[in-house]
């Protein structure tokens, strides 16, 4: 005989299993002992195909658990599932004498030394395949006392399974989002109000490892530009005017120590991640950092078509972005600085920009975030 657990202890263990599904293996033992049965299990049963899968169980031979999934679930008296939360025994479902002459009893129940079972639908998020709990009664029939004890457990087990499903859904979503972020070439950093890194994607960690355009100093994210650092500090302070700065979605041009050009965008995250919390470790915003690269001739053609740039204007545009200012472009293209300035003024007019830094930001918008 198993010593029954006290109801408060059992309920506590059920909610623990709601947070950690591996604990259900112990919980079903406690339920069996509390209800006073021979075996207990949590299983899913497809209401159409009648196929059943046992998730957690105790007191039954694994051989019969396998037989149930492979063959005998279709002969189970639970042909029509009871309403959610209603505890039913086999006589509540079918004629008991006919049941005892059938395959389910003769080949599955009787060899295990069991005659009756109490069943209840615990969770119906998937209407076609709800999660059920069953307690095999052994050689005696399920009585009112067993049903009553089971009824004390059902509401808690139902809620715990809903918690399991909610956590699983969130973990699945979080994993999918993390996979998406890690496939972006843009570095993404979630920062707290002091610019400490709360989380970063794979590209973000790669940028930190390169120790060029961004690095960690005294626990804070620091960029290669002094002015950009000041902008970040003001933005991620997330107080007063800084909140409007976050909402503005500022783009910050950066030049790495190696001479490569980047653009940083700041996005607010307070309404998404913090949920009103004031912990210093909470992310208040995201920094999206992407290298300015036009990804080949096709992107140059896209820019030219978008702004109706001539071939000469496009060459100056690309050189300003990738090489530098007017003197550097003059040398790179082998044309006079006055010619560069003429084309540059036309590019400004066609693109609606006024500074070379604006062209860098504009070019970043045409780069492919999936290309590494």
Segment 101-158, tens digit of pLDDT: 999 999 999 999 999 999 999 988 776 778 999 999 988 899 999 999 999 999 999 9
In a domain, 149, yes or no: yes
Domain assignment of residue 372, yes or no: no
Domain endpoint, select from 243, 261, 291: 291
Q: Do 323 and 332 meet the contact criterion of CB atoms below 8 Å apart?
A: yes
Count the domains in the chain. 3
Has residue 2 been placed in a domain?
no
Domain contains 110:
yes
Over range 232-241, report the average pLDDT.
66
What's the CA gap between 140 and 211, in Å, rounded?
73
Residues 156-166 have a mean pLDDT of: 92
In this predicted structure, what is the pLDDT of residue 372? Answer: 47
Same domain, 160 and 11: yes
CATH number of the domain encompassing residue 315: 1.10.10.10
Q: To 10 degrees, what angle do helices 311-322 and 297-307 make?
A: 120
Domain that holds residue 82: 7-174
Whole-number Å distance between alpha carbons of 233 and 248: 15
Tell me whether residue 369 is in a domain: no
Tell me: do 90 and 140 sit in the same domain: yes
- Based on the fold, state whether residues 211 and 250 are members of the same structural domain: yes
- Is residue 12 domain-shared with residue 120, that is, in the same domain? yes
Q: Report CA-CA distances (Å) from 299 to 16, 76, 254, 312, 319.
A: 54, 63, 21, 16, 14
Q: Are the CB atoms for 54 and 63 separated by under 8 Å?
A: no
Banded pLDDT at 369 (limits 50, 70, 90): low
Question: Does 50 share its domain with 103?
Answer: yes
Close Cβ partners of 64 (under 8 Å, ≥ 6 residues apart): 108, 111, 112
Does any domain span residue 180? Answer: no
Instruction: Tell me the three state secondary structure of residue 225.
Output: coil
Among 132, 151, 174, the domain boundary falls at: 174
Confidence of residue 266 (pLDDT cuts 50, 70, 90): confident
Whether 211 and 158 share a structural domain: no
Same domain, 135 and 12: yes
Partnered with residue 189 across adjacent β-strands are: 200, 287
The Cα–Cα gap between 23 and 15 comes to 10
Query: 155 and 64 in one domain?
Result: yes
Q: Are 40 and 51 in contact (CB under 8 A)?
A: no
Does 95 share its domain with 214?
Answer: no
| Residue pLDDT, tens place only, 292-326 | 765 545 567 778 888 899 989 988 998 888 788 89
Q: What CATH number corresponds to the domain at position 204?
A: 3.30.450
Q: What CATH number is attached to the domain comprising 33? A: 3.30.450.80
Residues 96 and 193 in one domain: no
Q: Which residue is listed with tokens 């290298």?
A: 291
Place of tokens 């540059």: 344
> Are 80 and 158 members of one domain?
yes
Residues 118 and 221 in one domain: no
Decide if 147 is inside a domain.
yes
The domain boundary residue, chosen from 131, 151, 174: 174
> Around Cβ 213, how many Cβ atoms within 10 Å?
23
Express as a percent the part of the chain with pLDDT over 70.
87
Residue 269 lies in a domain: yes
Q: State the Cα–Cα distance between residues 100 and 291, nearest whole angstrom.
A: 74
Q: Residue 107: is it exposed, middle or buried by C-beta count within 10 angstroms (0-12/13-18/19+)?
A: middle
Q: What is the pTM of this model?
A: 0.57
């Amino acid at each position: 005989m198993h010593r029954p657990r006290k109801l408060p202890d059992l309920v506590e263990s059920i909610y623990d299993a709601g947070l950690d599904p591996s604990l259900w293996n112990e919980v079903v033992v406690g339920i069996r002992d509390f209800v006073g049965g021979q075996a207990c299990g949590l299983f899913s049963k497809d209401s159409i195909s009648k196929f059943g899968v046992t998730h957690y169980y105790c007191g039954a031979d694994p051989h019969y658990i396998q037989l149930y999934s492979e063959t005998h679930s279709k002969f189970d008296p639970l042909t029509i599932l009871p309403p959610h939360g209603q505890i039913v025994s086999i006589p509540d479902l079918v004629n008991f004498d006919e049941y005892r002459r059938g395959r389910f009893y003769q080949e599955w129940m009787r060899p295990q030394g069991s005659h009756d079972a109490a069943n209840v639908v615990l969770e119906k998020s998937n209407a076609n395949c709800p999660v059920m709990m069953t307690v095999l009664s052994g050689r005696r029939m399920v009585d009112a006392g067993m049903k009553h004890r089971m009824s004390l457990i059902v509401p808690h087990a139902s809620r715990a399974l809903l918690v399991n499903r909610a956590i699983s859904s969130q973990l699945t979503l979080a994993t999918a989002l993390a996979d998406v972020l890690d496939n972006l070439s843009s570095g993404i950093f979630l920062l707290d109000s002091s610019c400490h890194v709360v989380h970063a994607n794979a590209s973000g960690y790669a940028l930190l490892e390169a120790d060029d355009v961004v690095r960690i100093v005294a626990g804070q994210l620091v960029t290669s530009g002094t002015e950009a650092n000041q902008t970040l500090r003001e933005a991620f302070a997330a107080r007063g005017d800084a909140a409007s700065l976050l909402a503005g979605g500022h783009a910050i041009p950066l030049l790495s120590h190696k001479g490569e050009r980047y653009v940083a965008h700041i996005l607010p995250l307070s309404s998404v991640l913090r949920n009103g919390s004031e912990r210093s470790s909470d992310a208040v915003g995201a920094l999206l950092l992407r290298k300015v690269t036009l990804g080949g001739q096709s992107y140059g053609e896209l820019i030219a078509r978008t702004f109706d740039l001539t071939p000469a204007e496009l060459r100056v545009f690309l050189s300003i972005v990738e090489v530098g200012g007017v003197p550097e472009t003059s040398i790179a293209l082998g044309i006079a600085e006055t010619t560069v300035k003429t084309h540059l003024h036309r590019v400004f007019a066609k693109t609606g920009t006024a500074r070379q830094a604006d062209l860098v930001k504009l070019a970043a918008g045409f780069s492919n975030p999936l290309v590494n």
